Amino acid sequence: MNRRDFLKLSSMTALLAAREWTGLSKVFAQFPSPSKSNYLSRSNPLGNMEHRNLGGLLNVSVIGLGCLPMVGYYGGKYEKKDMIALIRHAYEKGVTFFDTAEVYGPYTSEEWVGEALAPFRDKVRIGTKFGFGVEEKQPTALNSRPDHIRRAVEGSLRRLRTDHIDLLYQHRVDPNVPMEEVAGTVKDLMQ
């Protein structure tokens, strides 16, 4: 399969996944809601979920939960309490990787993910992204300038209620900022 065919297939898969969001919530809905004592006292937080090691550094469940649809991006309106329950239920089922971004909402997804995962933050991995001008009130404009990246990461840490981000990446390439500057800024933040 060439790159063009792969991208077409990926795009179609993403569209199908977006349409099936309510299907995913129905799957989770068939299980009883997790109680607070249940998710805090699990002796085996990983359950039977298979895991993968990313880059030799990050161990994650083979199924992750993308948290963009929770803010209504694909249609529908979801309640905060329901999405927090969904995130926690995914954890109960063995999901240990949660993907979000500052632009989702904007900010709402990170806030809900942070609240939902706070009780067991040390048992999960969170990925978030920078690269849009959210901090400058221009969420559709690309922005990967070093000063923006630093502000975006500080905001993400605060909203996610954590002192570290397990996987930080650029949402979209900003053609106005050399990739060496972006990589250098991320390296500085890592240190």
Active-site option among 73, 91, 104, 169? 104
Instruction: Identify whether the C-beta of residue 172 lies closer than 8 Å to the C-beta of residue 142.
Output: yes
pLDDT tens figures, 16-30: 444 444 444 444 444
What pLDDT, on a 0 to 100 scale, did the predictor assign at position 83?
97
Catalytic-residue membership of 73: no
Range with the largest mean pLDDT of 26-40, 44-58, 61-75: 61-75
What pLDDT, on a 0 to 100 scale, did the predictor assign at position 21?
42
Cα distance between residue 29 and residue 118, in whole Å = 22
Residue 41 banded pLDDT, cuts 50, 70, 90: very low
Averaged pLDDT, 72-76: 88
Residue 3 banded pLDDT, cuts 50, 70, 90: low
Cα distance between residue 66 and residue 168, in whole Å = 14
189-to-117, 125, 147, 154 alpha-carbon distances in Å:
23, 18, 11, 10
Other CB atoms within 10 Å distance of the CB of residue 60: 20
pLDDT tens figures, 145-164: 999 999 999 999 999 999 99
106 cis-preceded (ω within 30 degrees of 0):
yes
